[in-house]
Amino acid sequence: MATSTPPLNPLSSPKSKSNNPNESNPSPLSLLRKCSSLKEIKQIQAITIKSNLQHDISVITKLINFCTLNPSTTMDHAQHLFDQIPQPDIVLFNTMARGYALTNTPIRAMTLFSRILNLGLLPDDYTFPSLLKACANSKALKEGKQVHNLVIKLGLHLNIYVQPTLINMYTECRDISAARKVFDKISSPCVVTYNAMITGYSRCSQPNEALALFRELQGSNLNPTDVTMLSVLSSCALLGALDLGKWIHEYIKKNGFDEYLKVNTALIDMYAKCGSLEDAVCVFENMRFKDTQAWSAMIVAYAIHGHGYKAVAMFEDMRRVRVRPDEITFLGVLYACSHTGMVVEGCEYFQSMSVRYGIVPGIKHFGCMVDLLARAGRLDEAYKFIEELPLMPTPILWRTLLSACSSHGNVEMGKQVMERIFELDDSHGGDYVILSNMCARAGRWEDVNYIRKLMKDKGVVKVPGCSSVEVNNVVHEFFSGDGTHSESRELHKVLDQLVKELKLIGYVPDTSLVFHADMREEEKEATLRYHSEKLAIAFGLINTPPGTTIRVVKNLRVCGDCHSAAKFISTISNRQIILRDIQRFHHFKDGKCSCGDYW
């Protein structure tokens, strides 16, 4: 009878099924070959019904497990199968929980968990990794802690599969100290647990801690893995420390990790973010096989270095060799367009994203579009664009528009936008600073005073500007007006002299950017002169041999006056200055910047 069914490829062989239908252990599971599409799963399901196995819990578990191989399209079906089982066992629950964790539907996972407890079933070491992953995905710290408590109660905190997910849950919920507490209690962590902790540090922007733990791992008798290298490279990228990154690259080559596709992608990212586009290109070109992620990393690399046209050309190459772009590729392309003023092209790519590739634009794509329009001065269109969004706008979208209002000097719209931001979040110091600077430049001092008072009343603080420069493998940090660095006195003198020389070749300090309205002109100039970027550049100038490129990393957007000064410094000192700010790179050379002043 089985032979009369139409040919079905997922079946291993119809013959074996009719061999011994009533033997004690015919293992119907052996008939099920791995499959993941809904169509294949339904075909197999039809066979289980024919063989009257649709109530066999192990068969259904297997089917549901197939659904978790491709969960985004098959989990609804899994749910359907699951609902028909009157008394699921713990294995079936675990399988479902895994699917929910992978589809990012943590609430369903937690509901499942309550059901397990209510039924009096005992969750085991297979249950918790999925549950914790679900909590991590949804950043549900409260639920995560509950699960953690139960893990301890059941004595499963020693399980090597549970430990990394516990750490991962805490770091994804941004509770890094809780994660570290878990880590410290483990007597001999395995390499996966180390990786979870190192990754946690880098995801929480604590690259130095990540690197310290990597060194500890090197000192142990465990061997780092490719995953370790991904997090370590990500940490180098955060620091912008090129020399360190190069050292890690050597280590990667020596240990054969350069065979891994993802490690190479992370290398491209690291080199790009450490300011060496050439090295990023070199890694990319040496890759034998390039996937979507590798292409995306390279597109982003060109984009953040101001080579918008090159980034777009890369995208066209990618299409030519038939690598499918994903939502992140498009973020890179749109970013490139907005930072190069390619408004028409940007709009076209935005359209083609959904029309040709079926990618639903997310909030970040909309953010790129706001930036694209607003940067180009089409402020009204950008405003309308945000208002007509199918999603709830985040303060980030309005903030993007606010920056553009500032660079285009549109105070009226700036105020309007600020109101919209305040409806959502009034605790962001940077917003006040932008608006205040705008008003100051327009000479509206009463507005400036009002904004300052508002900040004071609400207790809003602005993030201090901080710039760092790497000299002889040591990263030196400077804060605005900083007098703490050991060489600061000398540095101030150097800057005083430097600014005098810069003025001779045409530099004019832009004192309208100084926040305090009631300062005298000389005081304002002095404040400007000791901005963190300038301190870092000056430190680089006096501590490196002539002609060396100076690489500076800043935590905020570069200030307009420092941008202007850096151009003049590149001329006067005959140096290349590469400055990474929170958004992108500025390459200063011969009095010009790679951003073309479009920022």
Q: How far apart are CB 170 and DNA at their closest, in Å?
A: 11
Distances (CA, A) of 317 to 312, 321, 336, 501: 9, 6, 15, 46
Counting contacts by CB under 7 A, is residue 92 touching DNA? yes
Nearer to DNA by Cβ, of 100 and 507: the residue is 100
Cβ atoms of residues 537 and 570 within 8 Å: no
Dmax of the chain from CA atoms? 98
Q: How far apart are CB 263 and DNA at their closest, in Å?
A: 7
Counting contacts by CB under 7 A, is residue 148 touching DNA? no
| Of 95, 105, 410, 570, the one binding DNA by CB under 7 A | 95
Q: Where are the alpha helices (DSSP H) in 173-275?
A: 176-185, 191-203, 207-219, 226-239, 242-254, 261-273
Counting contacts by CB under 7 A, is residue 234 touching DNA? yes
347-366 residues in contact with DNA (CB under 7 A) are: 364
| Distance separating alpha carbons of residues 250 and 224, to the nearest angstrom | 14
Nearest CA-CA partner of 503 in 468, 528, 472: 528
The token pair at 238 is 């955060």
Counting contacts by CB under 7 A, is residue 192 touching DNA? yes
- Candidates 53-61, 345-353, 480-488, 570-578 — which segment interacts with DNA by CB under 7 A? 53-61
Q: How far apart are CB 362 and DNA at their closest, in Å?
A: 8
Cβ atoms of residues 349 and 357 within 8 Å: no
Counting contacts by CB under 7 A, is residue 581 touching DNA? no
- Which conformational region is residue 240 in: left (phi greater than 0), alpha (psi within -120 to 50 degrees), or beta? left
- Which conformational region is residue 593 in: left (phi greater than 0), alpha (psi within -120 to 50 degrees), or beta? beta
304-333 residues in contact with DNA (CB under 7 A) are: 304, 326, 328, 331-332
Counting contacts by CB under 7 A, is residue 89 touching DNA? yes
- Residue 75 exposed, middle or buried by CB count within 10 Å (0-12, 13-18, 19+): buried
The string of DSSP codes covering 78-147 is HHHHHHT-SS--HHHHHHHHHHHHHTT-HHHHHHHHHHHHHTTPPP-TTHHHHHHHHHHHTT-HHHHHHH
Counting contacts by CB under 7 A, is residue 216 touching DNA? no
Cβ atoms of residues 269 and 240 within 8 Å: no
Q: How far apart are CB 201 and DNA at their closest, in Å?
A: 11
- Candidates 223-231, 351-359, 488-496, 566-574 — which segment interacts with DNA by CB under 7 A? 223-231
**# of chain residues touching DNA (CB under 7 A):** 67
Counting contacts by CB under 7 A, is residue 130 touching DNA? yes
Nearer to DNA by Cβ, of 420 and 524: the residue is 420
- Per the listing, tokens 């920022």 go with 599
Nearer to DNA by Cβ, of 370 and 448: the residue is 370
Strand partners, 476: 469
- Candidates 79-87, 164-172, 377-385, 509-517 — which segment interacts with DNA by CB under 7 A? 164-172
Counting contacts by CB under 7 A, is residue 442 touching DNA? no
Counting contacts by CB under 7 A, is residue 141 touching DNA? no
Site of interaction with DNA (CB under 7 A): 29, 57-58, 61-62, 65, 68, 89-92, 94-95, 98, 101, 124-127, 129-130, 133, 136, 159-161, 163-165, 168, 190-193, 195-196, 199, 202-203, 225-228, 230-231, 234, 237, 260, 262, 265-266, 269, 273, 292-293, 296-297, 300, 304, 326, 328, 331-332, 335, 364, 367, 396
